[in-house]
Amino acid sequence: MTTEDLISVGMILKKPSRNSSEANKRTTMEENILVKHKESFSENSHSIPVYSHGYYKLQILESVPMLSQHHLASPTVRAIDSYWDANQFDVVHVPVPVGEVTDRNAFQKLGIQRCSHLPIKVPGKEFRVPNEYLNFKEVLDKIFTTEIAINPNIGSYYAYLTVDQRFVPKGNSQRIKGAHVDGIPRNRENPNSQLIDHQYVVCDCLPTRFYPQKFPQMKLCSLNQHNFFQIFDRLKDESQGLDVEPFVINLMNAYSVHSATNSKSDLIRTFLRLEFSTLQFDREGNSKNPYFANECNWEPRQCYSPQNLRLPDFLLNQK
């Protein structure tokens, strides 16, 4: 969907359907446009953003309140800058709210280029955010202010921006469904050698669903043998599902189990994630930042998981 298409769909969605008795109803042509985009919708679509208007840096905001002692003591915060440990699934890593979007109109501005794992910071360098994302400066400044306060080794991390603004038809999710975590260790042979990733997420509607429950079975599983995402999906308890609030910036980490949810109506959703990692995100399809052309001149690698990952024996016979 092009920028023009997205703006057009946004205008159409503001009008009542032809079945409504209200004035200014959608025309047959407008209804057909929605049908066309519904038929072409894919939860797993890609795009190649292009940047040419320079970049901006992030700044620490004095107005952002410090996290409470309760939040600072949470497993989600305490695990930052620590090595992967499957025993962490014995405790609950709930999303931690770190701020809210004040300028909602800017956040929801239509026509923003999509990007996936765009590097906007590399170790030892300042943030360089393409000016095409100036409407997200408030959010990114708030995240940066929090990150400075809770991550003593921020200078050693990359920061990767994902922006996804799309038309989501009723009954679909914008992102890939299924319980999962962001940040399964790349080194599956020795996962404990990798510092975990952590992320900040925020959206304007159709919030992410988290599963604030313990998954103690994970320490019995092997990343090289078992499909962790299938295990999470099998063990998740929907009765404990937690839908975070729209426009609230939440911190999560590699142990925060979550999933996308289906929309109950046709809508346009704006989603932003900023992920901090010590790894180079050099996977094919990741976005490139021309303002880090030298630092991120990586040979793209194919994304793959070990073949024949399966459910562990203790789940095979579970209905």
* Tens-digit pLDDT profile for residues 42-52: 777 778 899 99
Which of 162-166, 230-234, 264-268, 304-308 has the lowest average pLDDT? Answer: 304-308
pLDDT at 209: 96
Any idea which residue has 């306060």 for tokens? 149
Both 170 and 302 in a single domain? yes
Both 30 and 74 in a single domain? no
Both 312 and 190 in a single domain? yes
pLDDT at 41: 84
pLDDT at 318: 64
What number is the average pLDDT over the span 29-37?
91
Both 254 and 290 in a single domain? yes
Both 227 and 271 in a single domain? yes
Both 96 and 157 in a single domain? yes
Contacts of 279 (CB under 8 A, 6+ apart): 158, 186, 194, 197
What number is the average pLDDT over the span 239-259?
96
Both 167 and 215 in a single domain? yes
Is residue 27 over pLDDT 70?
A: yes
**175-193 in b/e burial notation, b at 16+ Cβ within 10 A?**
beeebbbbbbbeeeeebee
Both 208 and 182 in a single domain? yes
pTM for this entry: 0.94
Q: Give the pair of three-digit tokens for residue 183.
A: 């940040």
Is residue 319 over pLDDT 60?
A: no
pLDDT digits (tens, 9 = 90+) for 279-296: 999 988 899 999 999 999
Residue 258 neighbours by CB distance under 10 Å: 26
pLDDT digits (tens, 9 = 90+) for 97-121: 999 999 999 999 999 999 999 999 9
Both 221 and 253 in a single domain? yes
Task: Please report which residue ranges of 118-276 form alpha helices under DSSP H.
Answer: 137-150, 228-235
pLDDT at 270: 96
- Note down the domain range covering 192: 45-316
- Give which of 315, 304, 303, 308 is closest to 225, Cα–Cα: 308
- Give which of 192, 124, 126 is closest to 156, Cα–Cα: 124
> Do residues 237 and 213 make contact, with C-beta atoms less than 8 angstroms apart?
yes
* Torsion sign across C-alpha atoms 30, 34, 37, 43: positive
Both 299 and 232 in a single domain? yes
- Give which of 129, 140, 172, 145 is closest to 63, Cα–Cα: 145
The Cα 114–Cα 199 span in angstroms is 18
Counted domains in the chain: 2
The Cα 223–Cα 10 span in angstroms is 42
CATH number of domain containing 116: 2.60.120
Residue 313, class by beta-carbon neighbours within 10 Å (0-12 exposed, 13-18 middle, 19+ buried)? exposed
The Cα 247–Cα 13 span in angstroms is 20
Both 9 and 85 in a single domain? no
Q: What is the mean pLDDT of the chain?
A: 92
Three-state DSSP at 258 gives: strand
Task: Please report which residue ranges of the chain form alpha helices under DSSP H.
Answer: 3-13, 28-39, 69-72, 75-78, 104-107, 137-150, 228-235, 313-316
Both 196 and 56 in a single domain? yes
pLDDT at 25: 87
